[in-house]
Amino acid sequence: MSLWKIIIEALLTLVHILTDRLLEFTLGWYLGPHKRVATPQSIDQQVILTKSAVDLAKQIRERQLKSYDIVKAYIERIEIVNVELNAVVDGPFTEALEQAKQIDKKLAENAYTEEQLKALPFLGVPFTTKDSTAVAGKRHTLGLQSRKDERAKEDAKCVRLMKESGAIIIATSNVPEVNKWIESRNMLIGCTKNPYDLRRSVGGSSGGEAALIAACSTGFGLGTDIGGSIRIPSFNCGIFGHKPSSGVVNMAGCTFRTGKEKQTMVCAGPMSRNATDLRPILQVLVEPEQRSVLKLSQPVDLKRLRYFYVPNIGMKQCNPINRETERVMYKVRSHFKSLCGQEVALASIPETQLTAKMWRYWMTQEPANFNLLLGNGVELNPFIELFKKLLGQSEYSMAAIYSLIDSVLPKEKESVICTASQKCKQYLQQLLGDNGVLFFHSSPRTAPFHYYPLVKFSDFSYFSLFNVLHLPATQVPMGLDVNGMPLGIQVVANDKNDRLCLAVAEELERVFGGWVPPFSLKK
């Protein structure tokens, strides 16, 4: 490397650091003092709210807890914390209490056979999903003022499957307009706030979902992910989230998808406070023909896996990795070295410096027209919308207008991007094989203040790379930083090797503790 190149890179790093600190100082001053979400009202409520979905289901089946009491506790929690979080679009649904009451009645009467109970793994457990995923009869706005009164005619396939597993839907959660931004803000509902610091971003697009889960306002949630939309909010809010391999979960009813799309980066997947919930939820969601391919029930011997890591993505537009984030990677590498008796190997993935360009190109190949989605069927002019925004007359957020402007900018070179994408994917396919796992930073830094992404947004490329490559990735919480914000790491495997990601996530939860409550626990 030449001296001039070293000097330029050092100056660029300095600019990133100074800009980051200036934004942190300015936005921190503007948004006021730090405040967290409220603590549960009682120890009894806290005990229920902090249990895993799997534990709740088990205790309902064994009649140690009543579904009614669980649903009631979560509904009461939503009513308290949503005043601060602004995460709910529709709900809580009071009819959920009647559904829970009927489940308890049937259990008391032994009306379920053993075979029926086996087919209802989440019987009586409350869950939520993002507003863009259809729930029959409920608001389906996609964050648009033009859709404020729209209601879904039928359930999305993933919602229907969860209901058929016995789970009870209790609310839908906030998203950015048509899911296309890394902060959950729109002009209809407003901005969703982070339970760990109400001044900070929950991420997007499944941001309302992550906020509710982290704040113990739902048993678990369903998200969708086209550029990090499960994993960014999961990281920002300190929970677990899994982006499955492409095509294993039917997308019908998610942001108007039909489920018949042959080539798409978007996936639906589980979000939870507990790693041990992810696998059983995914087992409910996967298409029947994919079950034998995924082998989710097959045990994973962690000592026989091969482990790799990448120190950074190599994009000059991204923030440099900060020290606390580097320490997370060091702790993970140290643990798996001691577990397996060999070093976690350094991987040099080619072309990752083009990640932002790759994702931008592949978004243009998606079956959905995001301009038309944003206009609710009407083609929008980005410059007219920008002018209206400057006059305070636009019904769209600045982030949505960014996306509109991006749609008229020069396109990426198809040959360059296709070659880079293929080269990157082939390298990882050969590197990981059927028993390899990659540790990848979630982000160079923890959740930023609201509005920060309007200035610096490239860090989301750490997530979007795996949408481009159609690989499964699990977001794992790894404690809190000095500001009390969640740290984390991504666990990635080869296509259809989701079970490896999930097994490693469970091990990381066991060793490092997983989700940390955003409130003080009552004793």
Q: Residue by residue, what is the 3-state secondary structure of 431-472?
A: HHCCCEEEEEECCCCCCCECCHHHCCCHHHHHHHHHHHCCCC
What's 359-374 look like in SS3? HHHHHHCCCCCHHHHH
The predicted model gives 255-263 an average pLDDT of 94
Q: Decide if pLDDT at 291 tops 90.
A: yes
The predicted model gives 12-35 an average pLDDT of 95
Check if the beta carbon of residue 462 is closer than 8 Å to that of residue 354.
no
- Measuring CA to CA, how many Å separate 113 from each of 106, 119, 280, 284? 10, 10, 20, 19
The span from the CA of 523 to the CA of 504, in Å, is 31
Q: How many CA atoms lie within 13 A of 348 on its CB side?
A: 0
User: What would the pLDDT profile of 403-450 be if each residue is shown by its tens digit?
Assistant: 999 999 999 999 999 999 999 999 999 999 999 999 999 999 999 999
Residues ≥6 apart with Cβ < 8 Å to 167: 122, 123, 124, 125, 126, 127, 219
Q: Decide if pLDDT at 385 tops 70.
A: yes
Tell me the one-letter amino acid at 327.
Answer: R
- The H-or-E segment that residue 480 falls in is strand 473-480
Instruction: Say what the pLDDT of residue 6 is.
Output: 78
Instruction: Say what the pLDDT of residue 398 is.
Output: 97
Task: Indicate the pLDDT class of residue 9, thresholds 50, 70 and 90.
Answer: confident
The predicted model gives 103-108 an average pLDDT of 98
The predicted model gives 24-48 an average pLDDT of 97
Return the domain boundaries, the chain: 1-32, 33-291+306-362+413-512
Instruction: Say what the pLDDT of residue 262 is.
Output: 87
Phi, psi (degrees; rounded to nearest 5) at 346: -75, 130
Report the relative pairing of strands 486-493 and 88-90 from DSSP bridges. Answer: unpaired
The span from the CA of 378 to the CA of 375, in Å, is 5
Residues in the chain: 523
Q: Decide if pLDDT at 266 tops 90.
A: yes
Order of strands, edge to edge, in the sheet holding 306-310? 88-90, 168-173, 126-130, 221-225, 267-272, 240-243, 473-480, 486-493, 436-441, 306-310, 345-346
Q: Dihedral angle at the C-alpha atoms of 11, 17, 18, 22, nearest 10 degrees?
A: 160
Q: Classify domain 33-291+306-362+413-512 by CATH architecture.
A: Alpha-Beta Complex (3.90)
Residue tagged 């001296």 (tokens): 3
Tell me the one-letter amino acid at 83.
Answer: V
Q: DSSP secondary-structure letter at 151?
A: B
Q: Kindly tell me the sign of the dihedral angle through the C-alpha atoms of 226, 206, 314, 472.
A: negative
Q: DSSP secondary-structure letter at 293?
A: H
Q: Decide if pLDDT at 308 tops 80.
A: yes
Q: Where are the alpha helices (DSSP H) in 295-354?
A: 323-340
Instruction: Say what the pLDDT of residue 523 is.
Output: 79
Instruction: Say what the pLDDT of residue 17 is.
Output: 93
Instruction: Say what the pLDDT of residue 1 is.
Output: 59
Q: pTM for this one?
A: 0.97
Q: Decide if pLDDT at 272 tops 90.
A: yes
Average pLDDT, the chain: 97
The span from the CA of 274 to the CA of 69, in Å, is 21
- Measuring CA to CA, how many Å separate 467 from each of 220, 241, 480? 23, 14, 26
Q: Judging by beta carbons within 10 Å of its beta carbon (0-12, 13-18, 19+), is residue 479 exposed, middle or buried?
A: middle
Q: Which residues are catalytic?
A: 130, 205, 229
Instruction: Say what the pLDDT of residue 3 is.
Output: 79
